[in-house]
Amino acid sequence: MNNIYGENSGKGFIKEVPLSTFAKAVESAIYKAPLRENNKVWLSDLWLITSLPEDLIKETISKYIEEIDIPEDVEEIYDDEKNKVLWKK
């Protein structure tokens, strides 16, 4: 079952968006993000590019990493605030 995220539409109901929708946004951000030392992409850069909440980016990476196309030169995705590797090649 997908978690549902959404926003108040102003019409008395919440517009629901499945988590899988955000995988494409995260994939695009990975391609746009600068490579840091040792070919790392930092979570803070993904947040800056997408403006998605960091916990949503982390959850998307953990659940949909197999569906996300990652460039060959990216070795890992790193949470620079918590000093934790989110994904490693």
Q: Is 78 contained in some domain? A: yes
Beta-strand pair 4-8/14-18: antiparallel
pLDDT tens digit sequence for 22-44: 999 999 999 999 999 999 999 99
Q: Is 49 contained in some domain? A: yes
Angle at Cα 20 formed by Cα 17 and Cα 24, nearest 5°? 105
What phi and psi values does residue 84 have, to the nearest 5 degrees? -135, 140
pTM of the predicted model as reported, rounded to 2 decimal places: 0.79
Q: How many domains does the chain have?
A: 1
- Detail the DSSP E strand segments found in 19-72: 40-42
Q: How far apart are the first and last CA of the chain?
A: 27
Q: Is 9 contained in some domain? A: no
DSSP 37: G
pLDDT tens digit sequence for 2-26: 565 556 556 655 667 788 889 999 9
Q: Is 81 contained in some domain? A: yes
Q: Is 70 contained in some domain? A: yes
Q: Is 65 contained in some domain? A: yes
Q: Is 24 contained in some domain? A: yes
Q: Is 15 contained in some domain? A: no
Q: Can you give the residue range of the structural domain that contains 29?
A: 20-88
